[in-house]
Every structure is written in C-alpha cells, then in structure tokens.
C-alpha cells in the first residue's frame, strides 16, 4: 500500500497559512486542520481550504459521551472532509456511535481513532493511571477500535509494524511524529520516525508539520518528503 503525505496546518492564523497553501497547491493532496485553526475560523475555513483542491483531514479528537460525539459527527459530516478524529479512549460505545453517525451523514468519511498521543511516553501514561507501556496501550485501544467498526487509526510510527500484525489488513494507519533525521529531537514529539522508515513499517499516511511549515521553501520540503516516500 503506497504511503501519502498530509500537511499538518498548525499555524496561528489563516494569514500565516495562506502563502504556504498557495505554494503547496498542486504539490500535495492532503491538509490537516486541527483544533487551533478550526476553533479560530470554523467550518467556513474548512470549505475554503477544500476549495483550493486539498483533501481535508479534520483533527478534532472528539471525546465525550456517545450521543454527544454522534451529534458532533452528524454536524461535521456534511463538510468537505475526508477524515475526522475521535479518541479511542472514549470507549467502544462512543466509537460505535461515531461510526453510525458517519455512515448516516457521510459514508465516504473515514473516522480515525486516536490511540496514544505522540507527545506521550510511558511516564505520561503512568501519570494518568495507565500502567501499560505506550505500545501495549496502543494495541489495546487499536483492537478495541477495530471491533467497534473504526477503519483507521492515528498512532506513532513506532507502533505501526506491531499494529499491522494485530489488526485487519485494510486498517488505515495515519502517523504523526514524522521528522527528517536532521530534525529529530528538536520539539515535543517523543516517539518519532523518518518518512521512509514510516512508509516501510506500513503507514498509510504520514503527517508532517514543522519540517514543511518552517522550511525556507515549503514546496521544496514537501517534494523532498514525497520523493523519499516514493522511493521507500
């Protein structure tokens, strides 16, 4: 399965995003809009970016009681989005409700379950009362998501190979925490991997933000990552 690139549009304002999106138009297909930009600009910004020709991954990490999450999915479903995140730690009933709402409002929308955030290590899990390792917790939540009808997961690239051995073959795995070798260790992501290594491990998509957003030439940085993926 080929691996594709998603840009994490994690910038403060739409004015910061605009020149980057103009440069990347036609260079890559996918843009991830997260909580910061969605909170600031709302659904119309999703429509605006989609109107530029990008496929939209809306990363809101919904986590609430089942009915509330289902209603949120119903509200978001009509937007021009292709992926939407929920937290797998919300449990099986919540995930089933989200999938049912997705099927009702937007059958083509891929619900993605977030397992363990890539900023969380074993010590961070322990602080919240989870005594398992990140890998053990990812496996537990990933299997629960699959049983609940979720068809995609967000996970660290370090857990992709393990998940490929435990989940259905058609499960899509989306991996943030991707850094070129020269950039690893420079920010708050603790569980990271290079683009080529993530592709070889079995990632369906990789999510890259700062290495593109902060590059002197974002389009060139994106092309270099896409070339690395195509040769892996």
Helices (H), 77-194: 92-105, 122-127, 134-147, 160-164
Using a 10 angstrom Cβ sphere, with 0-12 exposed, 13-18 middle and 19 or more buried, the burial of residue 90 is buried
What does the chain come to in residues?
232
Told to judge if 61 belongs to the known catalytic residues of this protein, a careful annotator would answer: yes
Q: Cβ atoms within 10 A of the Cβ of 152, count?
A: 21
Cβ neighbours around 151 below 10 Å, total: 16
- Is the CA virtual torsion 9, 10, 13, 17 positive or negative? negative
Task: Give the active site residue among 32, 61, 147, 186.
Answer: 61
Catalytic residue numbers read: 61
């Amino acid at each position: 399965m080929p691996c594709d690139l998603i840009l994490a549009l994690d910038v403060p304002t739409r004015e910061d995003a605009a020149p980057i999106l103009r440069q990347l138009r036609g260079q890559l297909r996918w843009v991830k809009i997260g909580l910061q930009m969605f909170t600031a600009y709302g659904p119309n910004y999703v429509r605006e970016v989609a109107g530029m020709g990008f496929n939209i991954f809306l990363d809101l990490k919904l986590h609430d009681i089942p009915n509330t999450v289902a209603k949120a999915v119903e509200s978001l479903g009509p937007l021009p989005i292709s992926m939407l995140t929920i937290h797998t730690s919300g449990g099986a009933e919540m995930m089933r409700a989200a999938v049912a709402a997705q099927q009702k409002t937007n059958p083509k929308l891929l619900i993605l379950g977030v397992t363990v955030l890539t900023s969380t290590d074993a010590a961070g899990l322990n602080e919240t009362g989870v005594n398992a390792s990140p890998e053990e917790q990812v496996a537990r939540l990933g299997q629960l998501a699959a049983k609940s009808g979720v068809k995609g997961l967000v996970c660290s690239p370090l857990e992709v190979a393990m998940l490929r051995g435990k989940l259905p073959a058609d499960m899509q795995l989306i991996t943030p925490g991707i850094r070129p070798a020269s950039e690893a260790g420079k920010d708050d992501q603790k569980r990271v991997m290079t683009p080529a290594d993530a592709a070889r491990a079995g990632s369906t998509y990789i999510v890259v933000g700062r290495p593109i957003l902060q590059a002197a030439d974002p389009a060139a940085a994106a092309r270099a990552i896409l070339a690395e993926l195509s040769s892996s």
